[in-house]
Structure 1
Amino acid sequence: MSGFKDVVGHKNIIQYIGNAVTSDTVSHAYILNGERGSGKKLLANLFAMSLQCQNREADGDACGKCQSCKQAMNGNQPDIIRVVHEKPTTISVDDIREQVNNDIVIKPYSSKYKIYIIDDADMMSVQAQNALLKTIEEPPEYAVIMLLTQNAEVLLPTIRSRCVMLKLRNIRDQLVKKYLMEQLEIPDYKADICVAFAQGNMGKAISLATSEYFNEIKEEAIRLLRNIDEMQVEELMAAVKNCMSYKLEIQDYLDIIAIWYRDVLLFKATKDPDRVVFSDQLKYIKQRASKSSYEGIEVILEGIEKAKARLNANVNFELTMELLLLTIKEN
């Protein structure tokens, strides 16, 4: 990918960046806020590449051919600094002092700007944020700091007020599906499932489309849902233990169950097979729609959300899944 023209979605942000670059009104600090996989890192890298480009296009996009662009694409442009941190869940005050504050006083090596990209910036400790605040308040004229966050609200208000906020929105499902089918050559049915799960997140859609493990999780969940009426308590408990092997991907597992029952609810209400995501399971979707009441399906969907919340709160995994499967079986 050589420029903004290759990005799917985020047109308002791309237009804003292009205008800032071409009119030379670049801010000294930006927050790119969006969920994991939404494209923050991609946009930040392209923004940085555009700022440093030696032969920029009229719309502000990088040429992709000059020495700076080639260096940027290879990850070794000397004036684009990516802040790293050793601790997996914290960016410490020492990380900020050593990689930003102590370095930013040195002028750019070969470019107009010196750009700092801080991924997972919402992991900065309060001390790290305060250290960065001093730099953001009085930055050198050549400095541009980009903070990439999933939850900008955890940043200090004093930092947020001094940064331009760029919020990444969900991409339209049609655009995500088009990309998966045309660029990754994903078949229509599989693309529909990935799109339903991704909910406008291109990174997640690509990850799901290219993951064999996701297909295993999906098949395991569907097998359970097709047979749960005939399963005895012991079999349900065995299914719970089987779920344990997918513990790291349990949210995906629960999302599969949720989409299945949304299909059931939708088919029960509309009788329209074209609106069903799991179209290859239509026979079983119909059977479930005829057996379950609207109230029962609603109880199941609420049960799935409760299970997600309990797992996020570290409630016992087996107990949580056992309660959910019993709720499904009873409704």
Structure 2
Amino acid sequence: MSGFKDVVGHNDIIQYIENAVTMDKVSHAYILNGEKGSGKKLLANLFSMSLQCENREEDGDACGKCKSCKQAVNSNQPDIIKVTHEKPNTISIDDIREQVNGDIDIKPYSSKYKIYIIADADMMTVQAQNAILKTIEEPPEYAVIMLLTENAETLLPTIRSRCVMLKLRNIKDQLIKKHLMEQMHIPDYKADVCVAFAQGNMGKAIMLASSEHFNEIKEEAVHLLREINDMELSDLLEAVKICTSYKLEIIDYLDVLAIWFRDVLIYKATMNVDRVVFSDQLRYIKARASKSSYEGIEIILDALEKAKARLKANVNFELTMELLLLTIKEN
């Protein structure tokens, strides 16, 4: 596990945590709120590791070498408790009672603090939330509870008002690209595509960069866009059949198409290739920019958004994709 100095972005949250640790002004309850892949678990783990470190650095970062740090890295630090739940989409009152409320009065085994990390805390039932609320209202002095959420608004107002809220914001594209290229050795053009998809989410960018399946989806979508002008109706219907094999990832597939046509629009408007995401497809981007009008490109981008909405509303998959591909071909 890296230290705070190795985290990309989230400087304001890291500064807050380091100040809280070094000045010994640690709250009993925190909410770390951000979308999936934004870094909530990483920050919660580093925060916990720092609090329990036996030889903490001056800036508040954990040493990474002491017994507690080594235990934390191996997920067996006895005073860092990660709350689990058996039901996939629910944290029940029994989960909270057994793992938090029934355990919290036992003093720390070997550390200054006893820390509870509750991932997916927005999955707590109302009963579970009320149970944790009682603990947050009157915690032992050594207790620290970290609630990790994608949507903190689902928590009771009484919980939110008693916790320090740490909101994870999007990371700048250039920082994500730098990380992908320098740490993962991802080629420039591939990093650009991953960054465009990730929209400020480092976890998603890393997942996309290391996903062979995403690369397959991207290549299939790009192949379609290169060939669609010359396709007959029967070819389009065959392309729809191919799309059905990506049914579970169809939003990613449509996002590839959308980024491609935004590239076309940007090139057509500026003749600037520096802002084109699909830089390895410039020949085809330029050809499409010559063929399509500004209005045509806008119609296509609008059709892509409508297709997403229809698929989310469970409109017939094949019909939705046929209409979309026809719109792309005609414009």
Deviation of 1:163 (Å): 0.9
| SS of 2:219 mapped into structure 1 | helix
Distance (Å, rounded) in 2 between the aligned partners of 1:116 and 1:11: 24
Q: Does structure 2 retain, via aligned residues, the 8 Å contact 1:34–1:151?
A: yes
Distance (Å, rounded) in 1 between the aligned partners of 2:161 and 2:181: 41
Distance (Å, rounded) in 2 between the aligned partners of 1:311 and 1:52: 48
Deviation of 1:113 (Å): 0.8
Distance (Å, rounded) in 1 between the aligned partners of 2:313 and 2:107: 47
* Residue in 1 that maps onto 2:75: 75
Distance (Å, rounded) in 2 between the aligned partners of 1:327 and 1:126: 47
Identity among equivalent pairs (%): 82
Distance (Å, rounded) in 1 between the aligned partners of 2:312 and 2:85: 25
| SS of 2:159 mapped into structure 1 | helix
* Alpha-carbon distance change, 302 to 116 in structure 1, aligned in 2, over 3 angstroms: same
**Alignment TM-score, normalising by the size of structure 2:** 0.96
Amino acid at match of 2:167: K
Amino acid at match of 1:86: E
Which blocks of at least 5 consecutive residues in structure 2 are unaligned?
A: none
| SS of 2:191 mapped into structure 1 | helix
Q: Does structure 2 retain, via aligned residues, the 8 Å contact 1:101–1:132?
A: yes
Please state if 1:16 is matched with 2:48. Answer: no
| SS of 1:148 mapped into structure 2 | strand
| SS of 2:68 mapped into structure 1 | helix
* Alpha-carbon distance change, 82 to 233 in structure 1, aligned in 2, over 3 angstroms: same
Amino acid at match of 1:46: L
* Alpha-carbon distance change, 93 to 237 in structure 1, aligned in 2, over 3 angstroms: farther
Deviation of 1:329 (Å): 2.1
Deviation of 1:326 (Å): 2.4
**Alignment TM-score, normalising by the size of structure 1:** 0.96
Deviation of 1:90 (Å): 1.3
Please state if 1:113 is matched with 2:109. Answer: no
| SS of 1:81 mapped into structure 2 | strand
1:17-32 matches, within 5 Å, as 17-32=17-32
Q: Does structure 2 retain, via aligned residues, the 8 Å contact 1:2–1:62?
A: no
Deviation of 1:179 (Å): 0.9
1:206-221 matches, within 5 Å, as 206-221=206-221
* Residue in 1 that maps onto 2:254: 254
Please state if 1:326 is matched with 2:326. Answer: yes
Distance (Å, rounded) in 1 between the aligned partners of 2:317 and 2:102: 46
1:128-167 matches, within 5 Å, as 128-167=128-167
Deviation of 1:232 (Å): 2.5
Which blocks of at least 5 consecutive residues in structure 1 are unaligned?
A: none
Distance (Å, rounded) in 2 between the aligned partners of 1:17 and 1:33: 15
* Alpha-carbon distance change, 260 to 100 in structure 1, aligned in 2, over 3 angstroms: same
Amino acid at match of 1:239: A
Distance (Å, rounded) in 1 between the aligned partners of 2:24 and 2:318: 57
Kindly provide the CA deviation profile for residues 154-204 of structure 1, in whole angstroms up to 9, marking residues without a partner as x.
Answer: 111111111111111111111111111111111111111111111111111
1:41-190 matches, within 5 Å, as 41-190=41-190
Greater CA drift, 310-319 or 110-119: 310-319
Kindly provide the CA deviation profile for residues 110-137 of structure 1, in whole angstroms up to 9, marking residues without a partner as x.
Answer: 1111111111111111221111111111
Extract structure 1 runs of 4+ deviating beyond 6 A: none
**Matched residue pairs, number?**
331
* Residue in 2 that maps onto 1:191: 191
Distance (Å, rounded) in 2 between the aligned partners of 1:131 and 1:234: 60
Deviation of 1:277 (Å): 0.9
